[in-house]
Amino acid sequence: MAKVVREELIRQLADGQFISGQHLAEQLNVSRTAISKHVKVLTEMGLDIFSVQGKGYKLAQSITLLDSQKITNELTNLNRKNLIEVHSIIDSTNSYLMRRLPNNVTHGQTCVSEFQSAGRGRRGKEWISPFGSHLYLSMYWYLEQGMSAAMGISLVVGIAVSDVLQQEYELEVQLKWPNDIYVNGKKLAGILVELEGQSIGPGNCVIGLGLNINMPKQSADQIDQPWTDLSTELNHDVDRNMLSAQLIAKISERLEQHHQFGLAPMLDDWQRQDFFYNKQVKLLTGNKETRGICKGINSSGALLLEVNGKQQPIYGGEVSLRGV
């Protein structure tokens, strides 16, 4: 019930106009006190709502909500037929699709949400997910060739995101192995790939993407690394429905290319944008630190780390790559 009330409150407030607490209470069949409590929760979720006595509640800035029909229509224009689900409030788009495996999802099915209460990044980190500010997107991909076909998928998705940002927004980005997208040395987006299946036979893959679009100050204060967002880099608003469709289409296209040809045809695309290429780096694995020179990636998606003149491939897992 609380989720339904909050979703309706968001729809009522989205246009940025004042709406009275009494009117909201009558419409939603709850008390004025309940409305006040729900508004407080929405504020904690990242919505900037203020109240004026005699006028009611108002969003500081109107928001255009995600719309499954708008995304689907744009995907049709891009010759794509991915099934789309849009949620207002969810624990995690990745978790949602993982729970539906293996029989309640279709190949290419995508879930997007306005807010995540338990957004997850790589290595168990929290992904800060304020309401209506960014893009939280997860796609299901069937691994017909087995779990080994997942090698390098986070890199493929990074290249796809770069394709969209360059082609549609003329934004030059850098790619950081294995799952980050940077602009001017600051993190813009992160990718989380999760797998389900046996070592032999087909497998299931859920690919999550979190992309900063318009970071609220209260959320920015919770982030412990340099970050940026599209609004800052482009100096104008971004249509999240259009961007969602563009990303879904391009990610699907790049994944199909990867399925057919592997990562090899994309190595040049990666190296051209490799954030650490030919730079001194340190690789952290638990309490162990290894220093060397980043030499890009190989056709399996492994990081090539040069240590004492010799290159060694480093595969994913619980590792972190940082500059020296």
Write out the chain's pLDDT in tens, 324 residues. Answer: 688 888 888 888 888 888 888 888 888 888 888 888 888 888 888 888 888 888 889 888 888 899 999 999 999 999 999 999 999 999 999 999 999 998 999 999 999 999 998 888 765 677 777 888 899 999 999 999 888 888 899 999 999 999 999 999 999 999 999 999 999 999 999 999 999 988 788 999 999 999 999 887 777 677 777 899 999 999 888 999 999 999 999 999 999 999 999 999 999 999 999 999 999 999 888 888 899 999 999 999 999 999 998 999 988 767 788 887
The answer to whether the annotation marks 272 as part of a ligand binding site is no
Q: Please, what is the angle between helix 21-28 and helix 2-13, to 10°?
A: 130
CA distance 135 to 181: 14
Helix H or strand E segment including 160: helix 153-169
**Active-site amino acid positions:** 122, 187, 322
What phi, psi does 102 have (nearest 5°)?
Answer: -100, -10
Whether 122 has a binding-site annotation, put simply, is yes
- Cis omega before residue 202 (within 30°)? no
User: What pLDDT is recorded for position 1?
Assistant: 64
DSSP 191-223: EEEEEEE-SSS-EEEEEEEEE-SS--HHHHTT-
Q: Tokens 């409030």 map to which residue?
A: 89
Q: Is 146 annotated as a binding residue?
A: no
Helix (H) or strand (E) holding 297: strand 288-297
- Residue 129, pLDDT score: 78
For residue 120, say whether it is annotated as part of any ligand binding site. yes
Is 77 among the annotated ligand-binding positions? Answer: no
DSSP string, 116-153: ESS-B-GGG-B----TTTSEEEEEEEEETT-GGGGTTH
Residue 279 known to bind ligand? no
Q: Which residues contact 53 (CB under 8 A, 6 or more apart)?
A: none
Domain over 276-323 is classified CATH 3.40.1790.10: no
Q: Which CATH number fits domain 2-59: 3.30.1280.10, 1.10.10.10, 3.40.30.10, 1.10.3720.10?
A: 1.10.10.10
232 labelled binding-site residue: no
Where is 115: in which H helix or E strand? strand 110-116
* pLDDT for the residue numbered 255: 97
For 68-271, CATH gives 3.30.930.10
* Domain boundary assignment for the chain: 2-59, 68-271, 276-323
Residue 122: predicted pLDDT: 63
CA distances from 264 to 162, 239, 258, 259, 300 (A): 17, 33, 9, 11, 8
Instruction: Tell whether 40 is in a known binding site.
Output: no
d(CA 9, CA 187): 32
pTM for the full predicted model: 0.91
Q: Both tokens of residue 68? A: 């499954």
Residue 192, both tokens:
């989380």
**Tokens representing residue 31 in the block:** 């008390």
Using CA atoms, how far residue 3 sits from 7, 42, 57, 254, in Å, is: 6, 11, 19, 36
